[in-house]
Structure 1
Amino acid sequence: MKKQLFVFSAIVLANVLIATQAQAETVSNGSISLTDGSGQVTPPLDPTDPTNPNPTSPIDPADPNNNGTGNVGPLSIDYVSNFAFGEHKISGSDMTFYAKNTDPYVQVTDTRGTGAGWTVQASISDFVSASKTSTLKGAQLTLKNPEVKSASQATTSEAPTGTTTLAFNASKQTVAISVKGAGKGTWLTTFPAESGKTENTNAVLSVPAGSPEANTTYTATINWELLDAPK
């Protein structure tokens, strides 16, 4: 009986060794090639939730006909807000008006894949009447307290930086800057109103007393420029 048990155990062990030796190891590969985003147009995203792939339309009820710039990549300004301040009565003292846009923003996409960085600058013209005969002398548009948001919840890129207080004038002012290695992908620099407010105290138009004429609409042009490096 002992001999039979020993023989049986040896046979089982041999079978195990044979099965182990029959197994083989191998590997496979996955590969992908990526190029820059030349020719691509990035649509405007929801400034309250840029990760939402299906934003509501219009993006901004105070700027309903703004469908974005249509600029193509690999480095582009995709969207800039038009600022609406509504209609008001002339005051005898200096006047301060707040934008109706609750989430004005500028959207930049960088798909160069180089991490070279970028800078957004802006300048503004005078506020003038449609006939060009009246100028809103001394008017000042100011944006404050920016929030920078990515279109990706999982981005590995560092964020650009928005200018804390931006007082527009005829000279170029830096709106947002992305240092080398940062700002890759799509980024929104927003100037949001306080929650629940219908006027935006972070987008302000200041007008000196004595400047406006009655029954006149004044318009200024903001020129936005995207540089392909930090400045």
Structure 2
Amino acid sequence: MKKGLLVTGRLLMTVIGCLIISNWGWFIATQAATTQSQVQVEMTPSDDDNAVSPVDPDDPSKPYPGDPVDEDNVAGTGSRGKLTIDFVSNLKFNAITTAGGPFKTTAKNERAMIQITDRRATAAGWTLQVTPSGLQSGQQTLTTSLKLGAVQLRPGAGNVSTAPNVVNTGELVAGLANNVVIAPPNTGLGTWLVVLNRGQVPTELEVHDRQLRAGDYTGTLAWSLTNAPS
């Protein structure tokens, strides 16, 4: 009986020893087979400076379909270059009466937007600014203030760049360049749509005058794009 136990013990030791040696050999083989290679690709600056066509803010994979209250404005600005404003909407507001101010009115646009494209290789960032003028009809100029409301940023189709930042949805100062969107370095690349008059807070015009004359009052929004954050 004792011999049987001894034999059994030796067999177990032999099997365990073989397993240890076998596993150690596998570990050494695995370690010896581990190595690394490199993957490399060169990115060269694009030489494309053609005008970028405006796209649909509801589906950026499609061309801009137009806006019922800005129907003649569909082709875009035609700007060429590496950093461009491709499209700007003309804002049209609901009519108000001459019963006496001040009044507030909201924009009628369904697809109001500004489209920007940054194709520079530097990724230096940019700033979108707007300078409002007063509204005038004949000899009368209105005292007004404009609020952009809930600004939405939407990337162009296939754009995976980090989004820029909306910095102003409040009152715009007439006659001054107001920052609206700022793209810090390494953000805002490719095409971006700055969509207005959407959501809970519409684009709003306030007329401060108390005595009003009937007429068609018009003004301008001068949009500019600087080639660095400000």
Q: Which category of TM-score, normalised to the shorter sequence, fits these structures?
A: 0.7 to 0.9
2:227 matched to which residue of 1?
228
Alpha-carbon distance change, 55 to 163 in structure 1, aligned in 2, over 3 angstroms: same
Please say if 1:63 is aligned against 2:70: yes
1:11 matched to which residue of 2?
none
1:36 matched to which residue of 2?
46
8 Å Cα contact 1:146-1:162 kept in structure 2: yes
1:104 matched to which residue of 2?
112
8 Å Cα contact 1:45-1:55 kept in structure 2: yes
Alpha-carbon distance change, 55 to 76 in structure 1, aligned in 2, over 3 angstroms: same
2:141 matched to which residue of 1?
135
Structure 1 or 2, whichever has the larger Rg, is 2
8 Å Cα contact 2:159-2:190 kept in structure 1: no
**The residue matched to 1:226 in structure 2 has which SS?**
strand
Gaps of 5+ in 1: 1-28, 196-200
Alpha-carbon distance change, 217 to 227 in structure 1, aligned in 2, over 3 angstroms: same
1:159 pairs with one of 160, 163, 177: 163
| Cα offset, 1:69, TM superposition | 0.7
1:177 matched to which residue of 2?
182
| Cα offset, 1:48, TM superposition | 1.6
Q: Structure 1 CA distance, aligned partners of 2:112 and 2:89?
A: 5
**Which deviations, in whole Å up to 9, do the C-alpha atoms of 1:174-223 show, x marking residues without a partner?**
1111000001100011124348xxxxx52101012424212x11111111
2:206 matched to which residue of 1?
206
| Cα offset, 1:93, TM superposition | 3.9
* Structure 1 or 2: more helix by fraction: 2
Please say if 1:116 is aligned against 2:115: no
Q: Structure 1 CA distance, aligned partners of 2:112 and 2:64?
A: 15
One-letter amino acid of the structure 2 residue matched with residue 63 of structure 1: D
8 Å Cα contact 1:166-1:173 kept in structure 2: no
| Cα offset, 1:47, TM superposition | 1.2
| Cα offset, 1:79, TM superposition | 0.8
8 Å Cα contact 1:96-1:206 kept in structure 2: yes
* TM-score (ref. length: structure 1): 0.75
8 Å Cα contact 2:151-2:197 kept in structure 1: yes
**The residue matched to 2:205 in structure 1 has which SS?**
strand
Q: Structure 2 CA distance, aligned partners of 1:181 and 1:154?
A: 13
8 Å Cα contact 1:91-1:209 kept in structure 2: no
Which aligned runs of 4 or more in structure 1 are off by greater than 6 angstroms? 29-33
Equivalent positions of 1:14-33 (< 5 A) are none
| Cα offset, 1:65, TM superposition | 1.1
8 Å Cα contact 2:168-2:179 kept in structure 1: no
Identity of aligned residues (%): 33
Alpha-carbon distance change, 112 to 154 in structure 1, aligned in 2, over 3 angstroms: closer
Aligned residues: 190
Q: Structure 2 CA distance, aligned partners of 1:211 and 1:171?
A: 26
* TM-score (ref. length: structure 2): 0.75
Q: Structure 2 CA distance, aligned partners of 1:226 and 1:145?
A: 20
Gaps of 5+ in 2: 1-38
**The residue matched to 1:212 in structure 2 has which SS?**
coil
8 Å Cα contact 2:116-2:192 kept in structure 1: yes
